[in-house]
């Protein structure tokens, strides 16, 4: 997993609408990347629903959250609609898992991203990184808020 203090690897991924999102374009903002294995799985649905509940508080603290999985933008669009969430979902679809690999959270055995959180500061430096020890464990929103508190102190 990528270590805090490391420059975050730049990426260019399509979101659920097919619009390209780059880390470079998000400079000046605090970015939270929530990696998850697959759209439409029960635990992933729960994970994104938990994060959706705290989106207003994240935004109030100046942070933008993005979900990242190896699914296509088409699957992401349907998944967002099914869940009724506003979190943009980025398609790490082709080359499959390239961004997850860059952040050190790709599970080669299963061909999906591990369940992980990464907080990137406005200068593009990773300030927090966490990967769940089990695919069934959802990283709690408290981890994000703790990381944002630490970032505010720095």
Catalytic residues: 44
Judge whether 37 and 131 are in contact, CB under 8 Å: no
Question: What is the crossing angle of helices 141-153 and 42-60, to 10°?
Answer: 30
- Largest separation between any pair of C-alpha atoms in the chain: 39
Judge whether 33 and 64 are in contact, CB under 8 Å: no
Angstrom distance (rounded) from CA 115 to CA 43: 10
3-state secondary structure of 90: strand
Task: Report the 10 Å Cβ neighbour count for 28.
Answer: 8
């Amino acid at each position: 997993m990528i270590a805090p203090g490391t420059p975050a690897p730049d990426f260019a991924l399509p979101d659920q609408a097919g619009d390209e999102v780059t880390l470079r374009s998000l400079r000046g903002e605090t970015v939270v990347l929530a990696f998850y294995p697959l759209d439409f799985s029960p635990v992933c649905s729960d994970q994104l629903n938990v994060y959706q509940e705290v989106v207003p508080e994240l935004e109030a603290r100046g942070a933008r959250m993005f979900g990242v999985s190896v699914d296509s933008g088409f699957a992401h669009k349907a998944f967002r609609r099914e869940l009724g969430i506003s979190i943009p979902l980025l398609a790490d679809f082709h080359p499959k898992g390239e961004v997850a690999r860059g952040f050190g959270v790709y599970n080669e055995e299963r061909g999906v991203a591990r369940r992980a959180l990464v907080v990137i500061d406005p200068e593009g430096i990773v300030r927090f990184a966490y990967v769940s020890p089990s695919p069934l464990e959802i990283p709690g929103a408290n981890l994000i808020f703790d990381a944002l508190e630490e970032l505010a102190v720095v």
